[in-house]
Chains A and B, each alone.
Chain A
Amino acid sequence: SQQGEEDPQALSIQEGENATMNCSYKTSINNLQWYRQNSGRGLVHLILIRSNEREKHSGRLRVTLDTSKKSSSLLITASRAADTASYFCATDVNTGRRALTFGSGTRLQVQP
């Protein structure tokens, strides 16, 4: 079953614009991670935010986490055509399983 659900399912923007993707989850977590997947490729780890953190930055990426609302957002600033990909949130659920539970992803299209 999918623990995290991304919103929107698909997003199309122009190069230079910002892209915001949201993720909601159901149970308490150790951390939440965002991954990118280009068509036909494996997943690439982007950023990890722990349950005691509220915001994290990495280059053009900004991630927020609200554990009271069980939600996270990924902001990509000044998007580029190369950012076109599917973006997944994944939660490390607080059960000791140490396995990631992925959402169904947001498909981002950045128009040049």
Chain B
Amino acid sequence: EAGVVQSPRYKIIEKKQPVAFWCNPISGHNTLYWYRQNLGQGPELLIRYENEEAVDDSQLPKDRFSAERLKGVDSTLKIQPAELGDSAVYLCASSSHGLAGALTDTQYFGPGTRLTVL
């Protein structure tokens, strides 16, 4: 079974430029998460999708960040314009619903996109 796929793996841009990250979750996983991980820290949730609906985006800086999951499968996270402080690893994760629609608890992570803003 293929895992969570993310691209690109690395991205270097200058500040004020736009950037986009792509994620394809594990097949059949309804729930998709975007996390940001700063150097030496644990990941922090940016947004969670249930199918195509963003059900938790309270931590997403909406002035410059946007995300979409149009068909409820793959997702794109965008930053426009990027700032120096956005340098981090952006992780995508997915999980599935178990029996009777209950959300299972294990999240499966992709390898991440390491963003460097110069």
Residues of A bordering B, CB below 8 Å: 2, 4, 30-31, 33, 35, 40-45, 48, 88, 90, 92, 97-105
Contacts and interface: CB of A to CB of B under 8 A. Distances in A.
B43 A102 contact: yes
B91 A105 contact: no
Given A42-B91, A100-B107, A105-B41, 12 more contacts: A2-B41, A42-B111, A45-B108, A45-B109, A92-B105, A97-B56, A98-B31, A98-B56, A99-B33, A100-B45, A102-B43, A105-B42
A90 B16 CA distance: 33
B109 A99 contact: no
Given A33-B106, A48-B105, A92-B105, A99 B43 contact: no
A98 B97 CA distance: 12
Interface in B43-83: 43-45, 48, 56
Contacts, number: 56
B48 to A, nearest CB: 6
B91 A98 contact: no
Contact residues on B (Cβ < 8 Å of other chain), bracket: 20 to 34
B98 to A, nearest CB: 13
Contacts of B106: 33, 45, 48
A31 B106 CA distance: 10
The 4 A-B pairs of least Cβ separation, nearest first, read: A102-B42, A42-B109, A43-B109, A99-B45
A104 B40 CA distance: 7
A52 B8 CA distance: 40
Nearest to A35: B109
B118 interface: no
